[in-house]
Amino acid sequence: MIDGTCHCQRIHWTFDGLPDGATACNCTVCRRYGVLWIYDYEGERIRVSGATQAYVRGTSIEFHFCPVCGCMAFWRAQRLDAKGRRRIAVNVRLSEPEQVGAIPIDHFDGLDTFEDLPRDGRCVADYWA
pLDDT digits (tens, 9 = 90+) for 44-93: 999 999 999 999 988 999 999 999 999 999 999 999 999 999 999 999 99
Cα separation of 53 and 70, whole Å?
9
Q: What sign does the CA torsion over 118, 122, 123, 124 have?
A: negative
At the top level of CATH, the class of 2-127 is mainly beta
By the 8 A CB rule, do 63 and 73 touch?
A: no
Cα separation of 116 and 121, whole Å?
15
**Residue 128, pLDDT score:** 84
Mean of the pLDDT values across residues 97-114? 95
0.85 surpassed by pTM? yes
**pLDDT, tens digit (0-9, with 9 covering 90-100), for 22-45:** 999 999 999 999 999 999 999 999
**Residue 57, pLDDT score:** 86
Cα separation of 81 and 44, whole Å?
14
Mean of the pLDDT values across residues 89-101? 97
Cα separation of 20 and 7, whole Å?
26
**Residue 58, pLDDT score:** 87
